[in-house]
Amino acid sequence: MKLLITGGAGFIGSNFILYWMKKYPQDQIVNLDKLTYAGNLENLKDVEKNPNYQFIKGDICDKQVVATAMNGVDIVVHFAAESHVDRSILSPEEFIKTNVEGTLVLLEEARKNKTRFHHVSTDEVFGSLELGTEDKFNEQTAYDPSSPYSASKAGSDHLVRAYHRTYDLPVTISNSSNNFGPFHFPEKFIPLAITNLMEGKKIPIYGQGNQVRDWLYVEDHCRGIDLIVRKGKIGQTYCLGGMTDDISNLRVAKMIAKIMEKDLDNLEYIKDRPGHDVRYAIDWTKAKNELGYFPQFSFEQYLKKTIEWYQEHEDWWKRVKSGSYQDYYKKQYGDK
């Protein structure tokens, strides 16, 4: 099988390529990535010389590049996106361009040969659940995005579904909760907290830190996508979530500080994110019943492993935290 992975140099895409090439070494992978600030080929150095792996530097909005990359491909697994909520609040345009227009370009090319298309999306398209309830998102939950990022992902989900209904394109969609694990870009909460503590800085907590996320270890997400690619029903959406009970951001920060043997003076409450979704939780019963999906990694255990990964890969995140990241950090957090 030949797969086109878009955004394969990012956090989840690179984990997915490493996962796939280990599990299915006979398959061919083409990785199309623009290498924005979030793309990092260092993540893929274990496979870069593998004859079954090919990297194309290019933009999913570029029709020519997409046509070349999709040549002879059996399935597209589409990760490429602008993915950071806070950046989308500072400047939304790029999110609409990549996440909506870029997805459209890929779908148009896929339509020519009815290429199987898996779209990687997010639970953020559903908006926010209430704190203190047992409610969970599932495949029937109405779309209600809060940020320019989640609105752009919602737009891309609708396009993918429309291409199935209108043109019979063989698509599937996954909406997953917050991932964590190796190669997570250190502007997202967990890697930011870990690396800030390692740099002697504080963990910034938005508002009171009472917001809840449904943390999913990235390898479990990759396994879920693998199941959908191989066994998912065409035209269907699957929600993929983790094994956590409700854990607030404040509790996550305290857990990180405790594991890293830092005291709680290292937590700093700052201005809340505008339009901040307070709670996410995923009901993954459909993926379990139809595909046998089950997250294997507990948050507590794998948070510790993730911290160890950052401690062992200081070179990786120090390089990532330089460059354009510095400008963003200043805009978002001032001189803290």
CB-nearer residue toward ligand NAD: 190 or 255: 190
Query: How far apart are the C-alpha atoms of 143 and 154, rounded to whole Å?
Result: 7
Residue 123 is a catalytic residue: yes
- 188 scored as a contact of ligand DAU (CB under 6 A): yes
Among 2-10, 21-29, 230-238, 261-269, the segment contacting ligand NAD (CB under 6 A): 2-10
Strand, coil or helix: what is 202?
A: coil
Among 30-38, 204-212, 267-275, 321-329, the segment contacting ligand NAD (CB under 6 A): 30-38
Tell me which DSSP letter residue 122 carries: E
Number of residues this chain uses to bind ligand NAD (CB under 6 A): 30
**Between the CA of residue 152 and those of 76, 203, 290, 322, what are the distances in Å?**
20, 28, 28, 28
Of 142, 14, 28, 125, which Cα lies nearest the Cα of 80? 14
Active-site residue, selected from the candidate residues 86, 124, 220, 226? 124
Q: From the list ligand DAU, ligand NAD, none, which binds 185 (C-beta under 5 to 8 Å, kind-based)?
A: ligand NAD
Considering only residues 28, 31, 88, 98, which one is a binding residue for ligand NAD as defined by CB under 6 A? 98
Strands (E), 159-266: 171-176, 179-180, 203-206, 212-213, 216-217, 237-240, 247-248
Residue 149 is a catalytic residue: yes
Which residues 6+ apart lie within 8 Å of 93 measured at CB?
none
Q: From the list ligand DAU, ligand NAD, none, which binds 155 (C-beta under 5 to 8 Å, kind-based)?
A: none
Of 304, 275, 287, which Cα lies nearest the Cα of 223? 287
Write out the two tokens for 218: 């990235």
For residue 278, the Cα-to-chain-centroid distance in whole angstroms is 19
Q: From the list ligand NAD, ligand DAU, none, which binds 192 (C-beta under 5 to 8 Å, kind-based)?
A: ligand DAU
The residue with its CB nearest to ligand NAD is 10
Considering only residues 14, 15, 28, 83, which one is a binding residue for ligand DAU as defined by CB under 6 A? 83
Tell me which DSSP letter residue 322 carries: S
Write out the two tokens for 100: 């909506």
Q: From the list ligand DAU, ligand NAD, none, which binds 317 (C-beta under 5 to 8 Å, kind-based)?
A: none
Q: What is the contact surface with ligand NAD in residues (CB under 6 A)?
A: 6-7, 9-13, 33-36, 38-39, 59-61, 79-83, 98, 102, 120, 122, 153, 176, 178-179, 185
Interface residues toward ligand DAU, by CB under 6 A: 83-85, 122-124, 177-178, 188-189, 192, 204-206, 211, 213, 249, 273, 280
* Positions marked active-site: 123-124, 149
